[in-house]
């Protein structure tokens, strides 16, 4: 181990951390061409322009009969119009007083300019009876109704949703250039941890913080590659990191990054030939012991092990790393609620830091109040009870009851299917 490589703990401001993260994310960013049906929820690495009108031909918007509107002018219930039902395969162009059956979403035959719904006509063998004039263009989707040739449909950095895939498919755009989702491996560190519920007790506890971080990785836009445990042992940590490096862009350690006697992660990392520490410590509270290093072209995020710190470190450091690598803004856009603080909060001794605090929103009359929840980072209860969180900038030493604050939704996956 080459302990000279380890930089000392020094809490750096978030804006400096973000600058460093941006540089590193460029190394792990990569793009690829994917078949359209594999590109869902991937982020575009190119602008996409529309190469042809969509639809390129008029499309029926009803199950019915494509006809020429001009033929139907005199149709009425008293004087039904008889049209000859022909097969599409027998016609390149619809003739006078002819009708062709079309399903919703199918192109009209040439010559037809309207569709009469199947339930509005009487069919008799090879002919139909029409009881009212059909308006030109009725039940027809006009050429270009969905997209115009030359139009920019999606900007680079747009995340492709299912409906986007549908449109691109209609346009015949079958391959797209996207950012690869960064592969992220997790290593949770501690002699006391197990993932096997039968081993719980007798000094072993169930590892659960990896579940939190793996959910966050998905919300941020990464892809979980591995999720291992390591003992408080340099050799074991080294082996787990080595394995994780093989098939990940980012390795995340949870725990063991504080300044306690048993903190072996920085020491272990320094033993890798190409290791480089960017920072150990950020000016956030909780999460102040979060660190960042590189090993060659791979990034290594050191998250603290108490749940509120783990969340905060993930939010401020892991999130922008995953997102910058896909040309996305640093932080997921959250819904925000303006609320009135219902208690004083004292940030001593962290007034110089960016604070992340969880709040429970409560509605009284027409006002929304934000009740601060405990900032003791060991307590999962604050996340459980939280409606959302606020970021309180450095320089704020306290906030008084009655202050209006902005509360952001917890990353959405946490209540995506919540009642």
Q: Which of residues 306-335 bind a second copy (CB under 8 A)?
A: 306-307, 328-329, 332-333, 335
What six digits make up the tokens of 161? 């949703």
Question: Any residues with CB less than 8 A from the CB of 265 and at least 6 apart, and which?
Answer: 189, 237, 253, 256, 257, 291, 302
Q: Which residue bears the tokens 């063991």?
A: 256
Q: How many residues bind a second copy (CB under 8 A)?
A: 78
Binding test (CB under 8 A) with a second copy, winner from 105, 137, 150, 395: 105
> What is the per-residue binding string for a second copy in 238-257, x denoting contact by CB under 8 A?
--------------------
Binding test (CB under 8 A) with a second copy, winner from 16, 40, 70, 406: 40
What six digits make up the tokens of 282? 């950020």
Q: Quick one: which segment of 36-44, 127-135, 240-248, 394-402 binds a second copy (CB under 8 A)?
A: 36-44
Phi, psi of 129 (to 5 degrees): -110, 130
- Determine, following the binding rule CB under 8 A, whether residue 156 of this chain makes contact with a second copy: no
Q: Minimum CB separation from a second copy for residue 197, in Å?
A: 5
Evaluate whether 264 touches 232 at the Cβ level (below 8 Å): yes
Task: Show contacts with a second copy in window 168-187 (CB under 8 A).
Answer: 169-170, 172, 174-175
Query: What angle is formed at CA 10 by the lines to CA 289 and CA 407, rounded to 5 degrees?
Result: 50
Evaluate whether 289 touches 257 at the Cβ level (below 8 Å): yes
Q: 186 pairs with which residues across the strands?
A: 227, 252
Q: How far is it, in rounded angstroms, from Cα 106 to Cα 104?
A: 6
Evaluate whether 275 touches 8 at the Cβ level (below 8 Å): no
Task: Specify the residue, 141 or 399, whose C-beta has the smaller distance to a second copy.
Answer: 141
Q: Quick one: which segment of 31-39, 233-241, 275-283, 340-348 binds a second copy (CB under 8 A)?
A: 31-39
- Determine, following the binding rule CB under 8 A, whether residue 79 of this chain makes contact with a second copy: no
- Determine, following the binding rule CB under 8 A, whether residue 145 of this chain makes contact with a second copy: yes
Task: Specify the residue, 120 or 295, whose C-beta has the smaller distance to a second copy.
Answer: 120
Q: Quick one: which segment of 89-97, 246-254, 259-267, 362-370 binds a second copy (CB under 8 A)?
A: 259-267
Task: Specify the residue, 172 or 395, whose C-beta has the smaller distance to a second copy.
Answer: 172
- Determine, following the binding rule CB under 8 A, whether residue 414 of this chain makes contact with a second copy: yes
- Determine, following the binding rule CB under 8 A, whether residue 163 of this chain makes contact with a second copy: yes
Q: How far is it, in rounded angstroms, from Cα 62 to Cα 102?
A: 8
- Determine, following the binding rule CB under 8 A, whether residue 101 of this chain makes contact with a second copy: yes
- Determine, following the binding rule CB under 8 A, whether residue 347 of this chain makes contact with a second copy: no
Question: Any residues with CB less than 8 A from the CB of 304 and at least 6 apart, and which?
Answer: 254, 255, 257, 258, 286, 287, 288, 289, 290, 310, 313, 377
Q: Minimum CB separation from a second copy for residue 273, in Å?
A: 30
The burial class, CB within 10 Å (0-12 / 13-18 / 19+), for 22 is: middle
Task: Show contacts with a second copy in window 351-370 (CB under 8 A).
Answer: none
Task: Specify the residue, 245 or 289, whose C-beta has the smaller distance to a second copy.
Answer: 289
- Determine, following the binding rule CB under 8 A, whether residue 7 of this chain makes contact with a second copy: no
Task: Show contacts with a second copy in window 115-134 (CB under 8 A).
Answer: 118-119
Task: Specify the residue, 74 or 119, whose C-beta has the smaller distance to a second copy.
Answer: 119
Task: Show contacts with a second copy in window 209-238 (CB under 8 A).
Answer: 209, 211-212, 214-215, 219-221
Q: Which residue bears the tokens 């992340």?
A: 356
Task: Specify the residue, 12 or 118, whose C-beta has the smaller distance to a second copy.
Answer: 118
Q: How far is it, in rounded angstroms, from Cα 196 to Cα 318?
A: 27
Binding test (CB under 8 A) with a second copy, winner from 16, 26, 30, 41: 41
Q: Minimum CB separation from a second copy for residue 21, in Å?
A: 16
- Determine, following the binding rule CB under 8 A, whether residue 165 of this chain makes contact with a second copy: yes
Q: Minimum CB separation from a second copy for residue 295, in Å?
A: 26
Q: How far is it, in rounded angstroms, from Cα 246 to Cα 307?
A: 28
- Determine, following the binding rule CB under 8 A, whether residue 285 of this chain makes contact with a second copy: no
Evaluate whether 354 touches 393 at the Cβ level (below 8 Å): yes
- Determine, following the binding rule CB under 8 A, whether residue 27 of this chain makes contact with a second copy: no
- Determine, following the binding rule CB under 8 A, whether residue 188 of this chain makes contact with a second copy: no
String of b and e for 61-88 (b: at least 16 CB within 10 Å)? Answer: bbbbbbbbbebbeebeeeeebebebbee
Binding test (CB under 8 A) with a second copy, winner from 52, 206, 231, 361: 206
- Determine, following the binding rule CB under 8 A, whether residue 374 of this chain makes contact with a second copy: yes
**Cα-based distances in Å from 403 to 104, 339, 369, 394:** 56, 8, 10, 17
From the list 105, 107, 109, 106, the residue with the least C-alpha distance to 92 is 109
Q: How far is it, in rounded angstroms, from Cα 366 to Cα 200?
A: 48
């Amino acid at each position: 181990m080459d302990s000279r490589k380890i930089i000392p703990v020094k809490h750096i401001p978030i804006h400096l951390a973000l600058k460093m993260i941006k540089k590193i994310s460029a190394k792990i960013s990569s793009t690829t061409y994917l078949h359209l049906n594999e590109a869902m929820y991937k982020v575009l690495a190119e602008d996409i322009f529309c190469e042809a009108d969509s639809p390129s031909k008029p499309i029926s918007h009803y199950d019915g009969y494509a006809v020429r509107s001009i033929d139907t002018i005199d149709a009425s219930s008293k004087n039904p119009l008889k049209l000859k039902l022909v097969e599409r395969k027998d016609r390149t162009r619809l003739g006078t007083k002819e009708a062709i059956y079309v399903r919703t979403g199918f192109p009209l035959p040439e010559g037809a300019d309207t569709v009469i719904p199947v339930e509005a006509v009487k069919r008799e063998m090879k002919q139909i009876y029409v009881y009212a004039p059909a308006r030109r263009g009725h039940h027809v989707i006009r050429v270009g109704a969905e997209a115009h040739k030359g139009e920019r449909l999606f900007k680079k950095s747009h995340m492709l949703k299912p409906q986007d895939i549908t449109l691109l498919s209609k346009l015949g755009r079958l391959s797209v250039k996207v950012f690869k989702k960064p592969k992220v491996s997790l290593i949770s560190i501690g002699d006391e941890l197990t993932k096997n519920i039968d081993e719980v007790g007798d000094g072993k506890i169930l590892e659960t913080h990896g579940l939190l971080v793996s959910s966050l990785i998905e919300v941020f836009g990464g892809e979980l590659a591995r999720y291992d445990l390591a003992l408080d042992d340099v050799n074991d940590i080294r082996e787990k990191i080595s394995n994780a490096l093989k098939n990940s862009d980012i390795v995340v350690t949870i725990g063991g990054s504080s300044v306690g006697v048993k903190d072996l992660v920085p020491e272990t990392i320094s033993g890798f030939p190409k290791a480089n520490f960017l920072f150990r410590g950020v000016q956030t509270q909780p999460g102040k012991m979060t660190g960042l290093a590189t090993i060659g072209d791979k990034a290594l995020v050191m998250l603290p092990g108490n749940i509120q710190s783990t969340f905060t470190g993930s939010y401020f450091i892991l999130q922008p790393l995953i997102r910058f690598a896909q040309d996305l803004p640093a932080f997921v856009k959250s819904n925000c609620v303006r609320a009135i603080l219902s208690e004083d909060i004292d940030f001593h001794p962290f007034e110089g830091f960016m604070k992340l605090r969880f709040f429970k929103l409560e509605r009284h009359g027409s006002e929304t109040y934000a009740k601060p929840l405990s900032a003791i980072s060991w307590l999962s209860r604050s996340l459980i009870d939280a409606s959302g969180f606020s970021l309180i900038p450095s320089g704020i030493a306290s906030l008084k009851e009655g202050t209006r604050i902005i509360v952001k939704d917890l990353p959405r996956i946490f209540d995506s299917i919540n009642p």
